[in-house]
């Protein structure tokens, strides 16, 4: 069972709600994923479309809201968005995101740490999106982050766990849950993160832009479950030379003259 800030989660798959072709598809995909926590963003109301409200499409009895601070370019903007998110939703939960560079959308480590310190003081449950830096993970954990969310690859790239070595170190050291976020583009990527011992993964683009987002949500649910089960079962060690699975004694046939035994 995954526990973050005293709250238990049966599902280890968190789902983002961006980029879906329609609210109906989003609703069905979230349902198929069996996710218990979904991220949402805050934006100005489109005054031309005042009826367009995502809150009417999400059942907060079934899924917890994790508002993000996407769009924040520094700690001050992130704190402002966090306060608005709490006022709008009533939840203390927050995915902290500080991305100054629109080209890479990579998180600013300094401002992310500063904002985490401030928001923890204000009694938020802070889950910071971070680069896969093991030392930063320790610093965020010490600052009171409820979990850390290292990236596998830049947001929306579907490139998989490019940061595997650092993520492995983060998982080994962390006292708080590790949620691999960003870059997970295929169920196999999610399974890999879970096999490595990640506590959960957050997936948005790969589900939302799939040919059939509802079926892809099911595939991610299965991959996350498979990866977690594999981690708990204990993977065998790797070897650089072959180790036969079948017995080496009692083989028929003569030695080959071009192979040295």
What residues are annotated to the active site? 95
For position 88 contacting another protein by CB under 8 A, the verdict is: yes
Nearer to another protein, 48 or 261 (CB): 48
At closest approach, how far in Å is the CB of 58 from another protein?
A: 9
What radius of gyration do the chain's Cα atoms show?
Answer: 21
At closest approach, how far in Å is the CB of 53 from another protein?
A: 5
List 50, 234, 250, 255, residue binding another protein (CB under 8 A): 50
Q: Which two tokens stand for residue 2?
A: 């995954």
Q: Is 26 helix (H, G, I), strand (E, B) or coil?
A: helix
At closest approach, how far in Å is the CB of 72 from another protein?
A: 12
For position 41 contacting another protein by CB under 8 A, the verdict is: yes
From 248, 242, 191, select the one nearest 221 (Cα to Cα). Answer: 191
At closest approach, how far in Å is the CB of 88 from another protein?
A: 4
At closest approach, how far in Å is the CB of 64 from another protein?
A: 13
Q: Which helix (H) or strand (E) holds 140?
A: helix 134-142
Q: Is 27 helix (H, G, I), strand (E, B) or coil?
A: helix
Sign of the CA dihedral with 78 first, then 79, 84, and 88 last? positive
Taking a C-beta distance cutoff of 8 angstroms, is the pair 33, 215 a contact? no
Cβ-count burial of 241 within 10 angstroms (0-12 exposed, 13-18 middle, 19+ buried)? exposed
The CA distance from 166 to 155, in Å, is 17
Name the DSSP class of 103.
Answer: T
Enumerate residues 231-260 that contact another protein by CB under 8 A: none
For position 202 contacting another protein by CB under 8 A, the verdict is: yes
Q: Which two tokens stand for residue 65?
A: 């809201």
For position 35 contacting another protein by CB under 8 A, the verdict is: no
For position 112 contacting another protein by CB under 8 A, the verdict is: no
**Among 86-94, 163-171, 225-233, 245-253, which window interacts with another protein (CB under 8 A)?**
86-94
For position 30 contacting another protein by CB under 8 A, the verdict is: no
Sign of the CA dihedral with 73 first, then 40, 6, and 148 last? negative
For position 40 contacting another protein by CB under 8 A, the verdict is: yes
Q: Which helix (H) or strand (E) holds 110?
A: helix 109-121
Q: Which two tokens stand for residue 30?
A: 């979230």
List 96, 155, 171, 223, residue binding another protein (CB under 8 A): 155
List 18, 100, 109, 144, residue binding another protein (CB under 8 A): 18
For position 68 contacting another protein by CB under 8 A, the verdict is: yes
List 60, 62, 80, 121, residue binding another protein (CB under 8 A): 80
Taking a C-beta distance cutoff of 8 angstroms, is the pair 193, 184 a contact? yes
For position 102 contacting another protein by CB under 8 A, the verdict is: no
The residues that touch another protein, with contacts defined as CB under 8 A, are 16-20, 26, 39-45, 47, 50-51, 53-55, 65, 67-68, 70, 80, 83-84, 87-89, 155-156, 182, 202, 204-205
């Amino acid at each position: 069972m995954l526990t973050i800030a005293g709250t238990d989660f049966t599902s280890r798959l968190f789902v983002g709600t961006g980029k879906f072709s329609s609210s109906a598809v989003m609703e069905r995909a979230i349902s198929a994923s069996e996710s218990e926590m979904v991220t949402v963003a805050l934006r100005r109301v489109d005054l031309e479309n005042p009826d367009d409200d995502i809150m009417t499409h999400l059942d907060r009895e079934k899924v917890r809201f994790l508002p993000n601070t996407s769009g924040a370019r520094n700690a001050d903007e992130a704190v402002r968005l966090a306060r608005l998110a709490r006022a709008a939703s009533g939840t203390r939960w927050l995915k902290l995101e500080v991305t100054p560079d629109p080209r890479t959308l990579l998180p600013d480590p300094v401002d992310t740490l500063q904002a985490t310190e401030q928001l923890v003081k204000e009694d938020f449950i802070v889950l910071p999106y971070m680069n896969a830096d093991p030392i930063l993970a320790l610093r965020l954990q010490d600052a009171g982050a409820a979990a850390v969310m290292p990236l596998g690859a830049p947001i929306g790239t579907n490139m998989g766990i490019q940061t595997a070595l650092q993520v492995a170190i983060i998982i080994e050291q962390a006292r708080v849950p590790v949620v691999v976020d960003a870059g997970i583009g295929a169920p196999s990527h999610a399974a890999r993160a879970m096999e490595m011992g990640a506590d959960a993964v957050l997936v948005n683009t790969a589900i939302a832009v799939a040919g059939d987002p509802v079926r892809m949500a099911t595939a991610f649910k299965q991959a996350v479950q498979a990866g977690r089960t594999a981690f708990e079962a204990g993977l065998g060690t790797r070897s650089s030379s072959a180790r036969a699975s079948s017995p080496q004694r009692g083989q028929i046939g003569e030695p080959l003259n071009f192979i040295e035994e």
